[in-house]
Amino acid sequence: MFRSFLRFVAALVLSGTMSAALADDTILTIRSADGVSRSFTMDELEAMPKVGFTTKTVWTEGPHHFTGPSLKAVLEAAGARGTTISARALNDYTIQIPFESLEDGAPIIATRIDGEHFPRREKGPLWIVYPYDSARKYQAEIIYGRSIWQLSDLSVD
C-alpha cells in the first residue's frame, strides 16, 4: 500500500518534473497551408487568452474544469487559415476538423485540467476539448472524434 503510494507520488513528481522540463520545449507544431510551420511551447500557449469551462466527458469521471486557448485563436496566432485542419496525436491518430466549425469558445486546446497540467500518461499535455455538457451538439459522435488527446500537430489545408 505504502509502496504504491510512493510510486504514485514518484510518478506524479516525475511527471511534473518532466512536464516542467518540457515546458520550454515545443509541444505543438502548426503547419499552415502555405507550408510554413510554427511551433509553440507550453508557455506560449498559456500566454494566449484562456478559455475555460467545466464539463463531464465520456472518458473521465465526474465534471472537470478545462482551461486553455481556443483552437481558433491558436490557429490565428499561427496565421494558419484554410478549410480543413488535420489534428495529429502522439500515437499518430489523425482527425480532420473543418476550419469553419471552429468557434471562439470551442474547441479549446486544454493545457490544464482543474488548474493543473496533465502528463502524457493522462492524455496530456494537450487535449482538444469541447464543452460537452453545455450543448447537445457537442455530444455528437463526430465531436467526440475530434476531441483528440496527446495533441502534437496541427496541419491546415
Site for other proteins in 72-91 (CB under 8 A): 90-91
State the minimum distance, in angstroms, from the CB of residue 80 to other proteins: 25
Closest to other proteins by CB, 67 vs 152, is 152
Binding-site member from 111, 148, 149, 151 for other proteins (CB under 8 A): 149
State the minimum distance, in angstroms, from the CB of residue 132 to other proteins: 10
Sign of CA dihedral 147, 149, 154, 155: negative
Binding flags for other proteins, 101-120, as an x/- string (CB under 8 A): ------------------xx
Which stretch in 21-29, 32-40, 80-88, 121-129 sits in contact with other proteins by CB under 8 A? 121-129
Binding flags for other proteins, 20-59, as an x/- string (CB under 8 A): --------------------------------------xx
Residue 33, burial from CB neighbour count under 10 angstroms (0-12, 13-18, 19+): middle
What is the binding site for other proteins (CB under 8 A)? 4, 7, 10-11, 14, 58-61, 90-91, 119-123, 139-141, 144-145, 149-150
